[in-house]
Structure formats: C-alpha cells, structure tokens
Amino acid sequence: MAVPDTAAEAGVPGPRPHTPPGGPTALQTLRALDTGPRGLTTEEAEARLARHGGNTLPTARQPSWPLRMWRSLRDPFTTVLFCLGLVSALVASWGTACVILALVVVSSVLRAHGEYRADRAGAALRDMVAGTASVQRRDDPGAEPRIREIPVDDLVPGDVVRLAPGALVPADVRLLKARGLTVHQAPLTGESAPVPKEPAEVPDGEGEGHLVFQGSSVASGSGTAVVLATGSDTRFAAVHGARQRRPESAFDRSVHGISWVLIRFMLLTPPLVLMANAAVRGRGLETLPFAVAVAVGLTPEMLPVIVTICLARGATLLARAHGVIVRRLPALHDLGAVDVLCVDKTGTLTRDRPAVDPDRTDPDALHWAGAAAWWTLQTAELTDPDPLDEALLAATGPEDWEAYDGVEALPFDPVRRLATAVVREPGTWGEHVLAVKGAVAEVLERCALDEEERDGLRKRADDLAGEGVRLLAVATARRTARTRAYTPADERGLTFRGYVAFTDAPADTAHAAVRALGERGVTVKVLTGDHPATATRVCRDVGIEPGEVVDGADIEHLTDERLGELADRTTVFARCTPEHKARVITALRGCGHTAGFLGDGVNDLPALRAADVGVCPAGGVDVARESAHVVLADKDLTALEHAVVAGRHSSANIASYLRITLSSNLGNVIAMLAAGLLLPFLPMLPPQVLVQNLCFDAAQLALAFDRPRPSALRRPTVLRPRPFLRFITGFGALGALADIATFGALALCLPGSLDLGDQQGFHAGWFTENLLTQALVMLLLRTGRHAAEGRAPGPVRWAATGLAAIGVLLPLTPLGPWLGVSGLPPLYYPLLAAILAAYALALVLLRRRAGQA
C-alpha cells in the first residue's frame, strides 16, 4: 500500500507540487498536508478529525445473533451432537432427533450469549488501556507549539508527533528529525532486529528509511515526525485483517486434548452398541436411537458455555475490584496455572522512585550526569525523563546544565546500556564534550584505564552495591568539534569521572505480596540488569532468599538444557540483557513450568513475549502494554496475587464441571451398555436419556458461579489429560456400580421390571436414581465450599436440590407417561436411600484417596 506523501494520497486538500525522482521532499510533504514543523492548531485538528474520522483500525462489525449461533456450531462437541441428531432423523427417530436438536439450540444460545457478554466486557477493558500520543499543537496560528498527550484515536494527517523509546508508532509518519532512532517493525515485515530510521530531505529511490509505519514500536532513540495517514489509510490497516492468530494457550491445549479423546469415544460408541446388541440380542437398526443417545450421554456439551462464563465473569470482577485488565480471556486460566513469576527488581520490589544518595556519590560525576540528563532530554526531544534522569535533575540545577550548550544526544538503549549527551562549553567552539553515563561494566570497558585501575573501580562498585544502592558510572571525552553525527563508536577512550549512587526503598507491599505468592505455590524469581550485590540486598529486604546469584554473562554459552537446569534452581539473575531474560523464561517453560513475567519497559519486550503470561502495569511503555496478556492498574505484586487467585477460581470451576459431568456420564454409559446386553428391552429410552442430560446440563450452569474452597486456590491449576482421564474412569466405574445396585433394588421391588413385564417401572426407577446420583456428584466432586456456605446455600446447592426434585417428582406428573415412566412403589425409596448413602460415602473416600478433597 502506497504511503500518502502527497495531498491527494493523504486525503488533505492542497496543490500537488513537482515531485523529484526519489519522491517528495520533506517541505513538499508538509505543504501537501497543509501543515508545518510547528504542527496544527487545535481548531485545524478538530476540523480534520470531523472530516476524516478517528485514527482507529477498521474493526469487524459486531456479529449478528444468527451469525453467533452459526459460529457456536463449530465447537467439536456441538458438531458431533448435530450429526447424531441428523442420524436419528434419517432413521425416523423423531423424538430422539427433537431432543438432540433442543440440546444443540440451548447450548448454542447460551454460548452465543456468553460470547456477547465477553465481547462487551472485553471492549470496556480495552478502553481502559487506550494509548496516547505526544503531539505538537498550537492554541492559535500565532502561538508557540506545546507538547500534549492526546488519545491516539484523535490524531489526524498533518499532526506533528514525538517518538520516544517504548512508544508505539501511532500512525504512518514521515521523519522530520531523529536521534539514533531504531524501530521494531516485525508486525509489518517480520524482521526481528530493530531497523534504523533517519530523516531524508530527498528520499533515495524506493527506500523507506525516512518512513515509520503504524504498528511499529520505537526500540531506541527519538524523533519528530509528521502524520501522513491514519486509520484505515495506514499500511498496518491493510494487513490487520490478515494477521496470524495467537498460538493456543496452555489452557486451550489441555482442554482440546481432553475434548478430542472424548470425541473419539463418542464416535466409537454407536457402532459398538449396534454390534454388541446384534451379537447378543439379535437386534438390528431399531437400537440405533439408543446407540445415538448413549453417545450423546458422553458429551460435555456445556463445556464452551461454562468456559466462556467462568473466564468472562472472572475477568470482569478482577477489573472492577483490583484494576487488573485481562486482554485475552484464556490468559486468566494461564494466570491460575503460573508456578513461577519472574520480575524485574526496579518498580516491582522497589518503589521506582530513586533518589541520589549524596554520601556515596562523587560530586564531579553528579555534575556531569545532571548535565547529560538535561541535554539528552532537550536535544533528543524526549517527552519525559526516565526515573533515574528525574532523580539526577532533582539533585542538580541550572548551574550544572546551563554551563553548556547542547549539540547532540545518543539516547539510552537496553543493548548498549549507555546514554551520551554531546555538549559544548561556551567559548570553546572547536571542541565538543561527550558526557557518558550508564551501567558500570559498560562505562568502565570504554574508559582509558589500565587493568589495575579498572579492577579497583570494579571493587569499589561491588562494595557500594553491597550496601543496597544502585550505581550509575559517569565518564567524559573531549573531541574536536564536527558537523558529522556522533555514533556509539565515539564512546571510546573515555575519562572516568566517578559513580552516582541511588537509593530506591522497597515497595510497601512487596514483602507481603512475595509471602502471599509463595503461599499460593508461586516462586518469585528476579531478572534484573542491576549489580548482583544490589539485587541481593533488595531481595533480602522483601523476603526473597537470593541464594547464589547468576550473572547474565554466565548463561550466554549454556545450552538450553543446561540453562533450564540452572534456571530451575536459581532465584536471582543479575546484569541481564533483554535476550537473557527471554532465554531464562523459555528455559523455565521447557522444564515444565508455567512462567509469568512482569515488566514495563522496552527491554522487557522479549521476556513478555516469551512468557506463558506477560503482565505489564498500565504505566508501562505502549509496546509493553500491547504485548502483555494482562495489564495492572499499578506496578504492584499484590494486584498480581489477586489476579492469580481469580485465575484459579475460574479454572477450579471449569475443572469441577469437567470432573462432574464426565465421571457421571461415563458411569451412566457403562451401566447402559451392561444393561442393554443383559435385559430383553432397552434399559432407558432415547428421550429419557436426552431429557436427563438436558436437566443435568442446566443444573451444572450453577458451577460457573461457585466459590471454590481455599484449598483449591493454594496451588496452580493445571488440566493434565492423563490424570484427568484416570480420575473420571475411577469415579465413572463407581457410578456404574451404584446403577447396578439400583437394578437389584428394582428387581426386589418390581419383580417384573427386569423382563418385559414392567418396562415403565424399570425406566422410572433408573431415571430417578440417575438424577439423584448426579445431584450427589455435583455436591461432592466440586471444588466449591461445603460447610463454609453456612445458612445461605450457594447456587450449586440450589441447582442440585432442583435436579433431585425433578428426579423424584417427574415420574408422578402428567409428563411421566409421555416419557415412558410411571410411579414407583414405596419400598423402592428406602432402598434407594441406602444405595445413595453408600454411594456418597464411597465418593468421599475415593476422592480423599485421589487427593482431590
């Protein structure tokens, strides 16, 4: 898609000037957009916003209800149900077909409604983290321009914007000025490495080095640019709809693994039932409706509905109560599964309000560091200083800054770990001074020192860091004045000036949050760029035992397997680069951990993308917020602990549904298959099976609103298919034994019930027993609270009570004959009560043995 460099292409009225072969000049572009280097006035911007619309990507229209219903049919369970209904209709089993169709419709309606509510909640959450842009505007034509933070949606062609490290590029822009600017443009080109960008008065051929596109993010440096295109006219809009979907989350993979195992069983069940009945009883296609009903009995058709309701409800409550915004619903489950949380030290364990420590700071170093901070901010046109520069400016004053004139700046970037301001002392026109500040190791490496001096300075840095302060090394160099731009290659042969020490007190909530996360089974690991001694001191202050600290340089040559072993037993990694952090998190995941990462800067971007769950505070840089799965209102571990609990709450209720429905259904299917082979008639008519399933499914919706017991929230929640299938097989077999015991009770109470004499009595007795055992399973296999509910029964208790009432009363109502069931003799009920009491006791004992209590 061509970038609008001219008025016609930009959609802004204006003359089309002569265009040089390489493309329009910067001045021609500004004239075509009817703007200038000072930007638009407020009135002009408002008029263009009204004419061109907001700077928003074209989004898909909200799907209609029929479309939502159609999409819900694509769920594998719903699709299998629908196919079974068609098979029933083809063999003229209209009752079975109608009940299956009712199940499909109910499931689809509930899922469509759940997705509608989730979409609304998601839109509201996205509005809470809407981005802003630094734009240069004037109140009127004669006024001086001012930098303002405005919503990205309000940008218009012709606006002049500032680009700073970590910012998302808000529109397609052309650079007017830049200082060491590099951008990540992987969303557009797939390039993983940052791409350098610089302004060009006359572009060189088809090159795009002077253009920066929406969807990119600033890796380092700064720039000033004019907006060429917004909204649907940007290049990003052209590829927005074709973006690849996110890979499946850990939750998606585990649920899908269980789902497809069950679907295979469902597809195998009808032919097995037909063959068994043909071989043993000589029955033909007349048993097909029963075979279909048995397959339907295995289906957890409410799974998509329960998952959507649990996750959407949890995300909404989390946002309201704690300001934690879940940007993708499955991430809430993954939060509950996190067992390792990696954090940076600064701003997470500390307050991120550093202050210069004058007792440990060299005065000459502070003077030069303050001048470098001020002139980097001015010459690089950065909108805001970072916390360390803020502390430097607070500790110095105009007498330090105004002693020089700013020439140029090389802003900080996380790979170089340095920032340089080039200044000129008044009256010395032939000389420039480079004031360099940055990480201790990087500055010392570039200083003209012998090894003995360098070792002495390193030892002094180690001693200071051991006292818990954060250090900034400062050096200078004098160079002959020149007009050619300075580069990182000029940061050599420096003269060391000293250290600036910063104190940053531990965050008020850090100690309590670390302890609470530990009690939840979450291990906190620290990945920091700071000195090992500084990291060790802070960790001990907040209750983290650092153990042996690993230096980032020590992991560079390790294989992934060795790094995984090291990461598993190490708590603190110091002097980490962005790539080190990402490798450690990837290694932890390779060891079977579910790893989360909390970060807020450009240097945290690789780690946020590598983690199972990336978490960013709302005050983080734009690109970090966009890459994160979860956004916190504050950079506070306490809020994250609440998010972990909310994730486990939702996951526990989903796991409850799967345990209850699958173990109960499997037990019924085993009993049906056994009875179908032993009895001269069908043990349960297809409509009875399907009505029973419909009642059970409706009751289980209450599980989405259950309150898990505290024990279910103390450990990470992970759905593992094999242990899960072992669990439902054991409890399913126990349910089948209860059903077979019921057959004995029916034979005692109704002597003709096991032959052709009293089919309705057999059907009624088993129908009642099935619903009562399902009500028991709902109460005893859930993760929800039991005695803690006290006098006010929760939704699950009410649902189970309603299910049991239907089981007892339905055979006595006028609907009973329609379903093929009749009233039962009084003797049956005490026998059934005894069977249910024994079944409940066996459930409790087996659950304790399985470790699920």
Q: What count of residues does the chain have?
A: 853
Q: Distance between CA atoms of 730 and 659, rounded to whole angstroms?
A: 11
Quick check: 359 and 386 in contact, CB under 8 A? no
CB 818 within 8 Å of CB 764: no
Pair 297, 595: CB distance under 8 Å? no
Q: Which amino acid is at 14?
A: G
Structure tokens at 339: 């067992």
- Tell me, letter by letter, the H, E, C secondary structure of 58-119: CCCCCCCHHHHHHHHCCCHHHHHHHHHHHHHHHCCCHHHHHHHHHHHHHHHHHHHHHHHHHH
What's the rounded Cα separation, in Å, for the pair 296 and 289?
10
470: DSSP letter:
E
In a 13 Å sphere around the CA of 313, the CA atoms on its Cβ side amount to 20
The number of angstroms, rounded, from the C-alpha of 21 to the middle of its chain's C-alpha atoms is 47
Do 537 and 581 form a contact (C-beta atoms < 8 A)?
no
Q: For residues 700 and 778, is the Cβ–Cβ distance under 8 A? A: yes
Residue 8, token pair as written in the block: 């016609």
Residue 131: which of 608, 627, 626 has the closest Cα? 626
Task: Pull the structure tokens for residue 684.
Answer: 């349960």
Annotated catalytic, 344? Answer: yes
Query: How is residue 802 written in tokens?
Result: 């309603």
Give the span between the Cα atoms of 478 and 423, in whole angstroms: 10
How many of the other CB atoms lie within 10 Å of CB of 478?
Answer: 12
Question: Can you read off the two tokens belonging to residue 231?
Answer: 């909204």
Sheet holding 550-551, edge to edge: 324-326, 630-632, 613-617, 595-598, 340-343, 523-527, 572-574, 550-551
Q: Where are the alpha helices (DSSP H) in 529-685?
A: 532-541, 560-569, 578-590, 605-610, 622-627, 637-678
Tell me how crowded residue 348 is: count the other CB atoms within 10 A of its CB: 25
What's the rounded Cα separation, in Å, for the pair 823 and 809?
A: 9
Whether the Cβ atoms of residue 768 and residue 825 lie closer than 8 Å to each other = no
Angstrom distance (rounded) from CA 806 to CA 453: 87
**Phi first, then psi: what are they for 589, rounded to 5°?**
-65, -35
Q: Which residue has the tokens 């585990």?
A: 254
Catalytic residue, candidates 5, 159, 334, 344: 344
In contact, 570 and 590? CB cutoff 8 Å: no
DSSP 228: E
Where in the sequence numbering do the catalytic residues fall?
A: 344
